[in-house]
């Protein structure tokens, strides 16, 4: 039997941005729903962070999620795990967004505690966000579970949290070594180590997602194999500008996109201004121009600053280079938590 696994959908993201929700919708309408129908899938496992803000919900975002997602899945069984973004408190999962917001959907099964479920003939252990209140029960369940597979919302150490940053704190992966397969949400980037797979979220949300493959997965309950279904749509784009006579682009390519124009060489200001005007006329949603020149006028291609210019990468790099005696990985984790809190308020 084939089921779908999706995680970290973050409905209401970017302060309920219409731009981002229109982008999300293309994935659901053109990729997700058609694939479910084509593959005959009727069961979905949502591994957490279904909504973006743990503090509240914009009514418009809730309406969007119901109209464009849940109402279209009333004939499906959805197993939904509580993630850190959907748990109101940091030390318990008992008050959570999905339980409060989705009670009208009888087909949505919500798990705030570690639970065994059976899909087809396969026992699966669902593990929601681990916190102070449920940690002891969770580890006891992991130790005693007869399940072959775990699906959860886990913060494991030793895995990429974002591009270029490996999480050095969190739950030791040794707690999951007795399972054949472990699938998790929470980190938005795909990664794999031994029996543990981070499946990544369905779409780009921040600049550090640019160029990274996103989507969802189909899981076979008999073979325990999973197949990625990639999202072909992107919202972040980088253009490297050199004022040659041959630099052109399709104006349709950047409509409603967030574009970063990185200037490698600029010797003719008028030509550059025409290029920028053409970009604006292509209806980009947002355009940022980045210029960095060596003395000879050329962009330093060995410098990765433009590839990792998102806020968290800048903060992580600052901490790494700082002359301090503190545990730098712990400082980075604290900054990441503060940054996530700030994103929910912006």
Q: How far is Cα 187 from Cα 219, in angstroms, rounded to an integer?
A: 19
CATH number of the domain enclosing 104: 3.60.21.10
43 is in which domain, residue-wise?
Answer: 2-230
Domain match, 171 and 146 both = yes
| Backbone angles phi and psi of 78, in degrees to 5 | -120, 120
Domain match, 127 and 171 both = yes
> Global pTM?
0.85
Tens digits of residue pLDDT in 129-162: 999 999 999 999 999 999 999 999 999 999 988 8
Domain match, 61 and 197 both = yes
Domain match, 89 and 165 both = yes
The string of DSSP codes covering 324-342 is --S-HHHHHHHHHHHHHHH
Domain match, 258 and 156 both = no
Last residue of a domain, which of 169, 203, 230? 230
Q: How far is Cα 81 from Cα 186, in angstroms, rounded to an integer?
A: 11
Q: Which structure tokens are listed for 114? A: 């570690």
Q: Helix 328-345 vs helix 311-321: angle between axes, to the nearest 10 degrees?
A: 160
Q: How far is Cα 231 from Cα 18, in angstroms, rounded to an integer?
A: 19
Residue ranges of E strands in the chain: 2-6, 43-46, 77-81, 108-111, 115-119, 122-127, 149-153, 160-162, 165-166, 181-185, 191-193, 196-198, 215-220, 226-230, 236-242, 258-265, 286-291
Strand partners, 81: 111
% of residues, the chain, pLDDT over 70: 89
Q: How far is the CA of 185 from the CAs of 64, 200, 259, 331, in angstroms?
A: 22, 6, 28, 23
Q: How far is Cα 196 from Cα 156, in angstroms, rounded to an integer?
A: 10
Question: For residues 271 and 342, which has the higher predicted lDDT (pLDDT)?
Answer: 271
Q: How far is Cα 334 from Cα 169, in angstroms, rounded to an integer?
A: 11
Q: How far is Cα 145 from Cα 226, in angstroms, rounded to an integer?
A: 22
Banded pLDDT at 344 (limits 50, 70, 90): low
Q: How far is Cα 235 from Cα 257, in angstroms, rounded to an integer?
A: 5
Greatest distance between any 2 Cα atoms in the chain: 70
Domain match, 207 and 69 both = yes
- Cβ–Cβ < 8 Å for 97, 86: yes
Count the Cβ atoms, other than its own, within 10 Å of residue 75. 7
Domain count, the chain: 3
Domain match, 91 and 180 both = yes
- From the list 114, 172, 178, 116, the residue with the least C-alpha distance to 143 is 178
Q: Does 5 score more than 80 pLDDT?
A: yes
Last residue of a domain, which of 183, 212, 230? 230
Domain match, 341 and 267 both = no
Last residue of a domain, which of 230, 256, 286? 230
Residues 221-260, buried b or exposed e (16+ Cβ, 10 A)?
A: beeeebeebebebbbbbbbebebeeeeeeeeeebeebbbb
Q: Does 7 score more than 80 pLDDT?
A: yes
Question: For residues 163 and 104, which has the higher predicted lDDT (pLDDT)?
Answer: 104
Q: What is the pLDDT of residue 291?
A: 85
Q: How far is Cα 80 from Cα 46, in angstroms, rounded to an integer?
A: 5
Q: Which structure tokens are listed for 78? A: 């959805």
Tens digits of residue pLDDT in 233-254: 999 999 999 877 766 677 788 9
- Cβ–Cβ < 8 Å for 284, 253: no
Banded pLDDT at 307 (limits 50, 70, 90): very low
Domain match, 130 and 22 both = yes
Domain match, 223 and 322 both = no
Banded pLDDT at 297 (limits 50, 70, 90): very low
Give 132's contacts (C-beta < 8 A, 6+ positions apart).
91, 92
Question: For residues 301 and 324, which has the higher predicted lDDT (pLDDT)?
Answer: 324
Q: What is the pLDDT of residue 259?
A: 95
Residues 283-317, buried b or exposed e (16+ Cβ, 10 A)?
A: ebbebeeeeeeeeeeebeeeeeebbbbbebbebbb
Q: Say which residue the tokens 């990468």 belong to.
A: 313
Q: Does 199 score more than 90 pLDDT?
A: yes
% of residues, the chain, pLDDT over 90: 71
DSSP code for 196? E
Banded pLDDT at 224 (limits 50, 70, 90): very high
Domain match, 171 and 315 both = no
Domain match, 198 and 241 both = no
The string of DSSP codes covering 236-298 is EEEEEEE--TT----GGGGTT-EEEEEEEE---HHHHHHHHHHHHHTT-SEEEEEE---TTS-
| Backbone angles phi and psi of 286, in degrees to 5 | -155, 140
């Amino acid at each position: 039997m084939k089921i779908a696994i999706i995680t970290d959908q973050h409905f209401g993201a970017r302060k309920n941005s219409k731009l981002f929700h229109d982008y999300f919708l293309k994935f659901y309408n053109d990729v997700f729903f058609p694939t479910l129908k084509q593959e005959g899938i009727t069961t979905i496992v949502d591994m957490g962070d279904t909504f973006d803000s743990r503090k509240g919900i914009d009514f418009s975002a809730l309406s969007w999620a119901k109209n464009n997602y849940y109402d279209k899945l009333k004939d499906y069984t959805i197993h939904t795990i509580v993630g850190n973004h959907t748990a109101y408190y940091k030390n318990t999962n008992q008050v959570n967004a999905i339980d409060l917001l989705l009670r009208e959907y009888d087909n949505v099964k919500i798990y705030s505690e570690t639970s065994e479920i059976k899909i087809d003939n396969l026992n699966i252990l669902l593990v929601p966000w681990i916190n102070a209140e449920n940690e002891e029960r969770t580890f006891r369940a992991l130790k005693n579970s007869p399940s072959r597979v775990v699906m959860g919302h886990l913060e494991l150490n030793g895995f990429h949290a974002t591009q270029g940053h490996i999480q050095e704190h969190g739950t030791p992966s040794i707690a999951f070594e007795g399972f054949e397969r472990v699938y998790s949400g929470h980190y938005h980037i795909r990664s794999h180590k031994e029996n543990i797979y981070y499946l990544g979220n369905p779409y780009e949300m921040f600049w550090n997602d640019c160029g990274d493959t996103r989507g969802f997965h189909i899981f076979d309950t008999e073979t325990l194999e999973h197949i990625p279904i990639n999202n072909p749509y992107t919202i972040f784009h980088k253009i490297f500008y050199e004022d040659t006579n041959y630099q052109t682009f399709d104006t349709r390519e950047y409509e409603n996109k967030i574009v970063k124009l990185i200037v490698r060489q600029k010797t003719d200001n008028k030509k550059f201004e025409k290029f920028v005007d053409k970009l604006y006329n292509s209806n980009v949603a947002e355009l940022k121009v980045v210029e960095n020149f060596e003395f000879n006028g050329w962009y330093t291609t060995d410098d990765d600053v433009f590839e990792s210019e998102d806020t968290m990468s800048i903060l992580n790099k600052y901490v790494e280079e700082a002359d301090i005696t503190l545990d730098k990985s712990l400082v980075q984790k604290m900054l990441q938590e503060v940054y996530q809190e700030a994103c929910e308020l912006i």
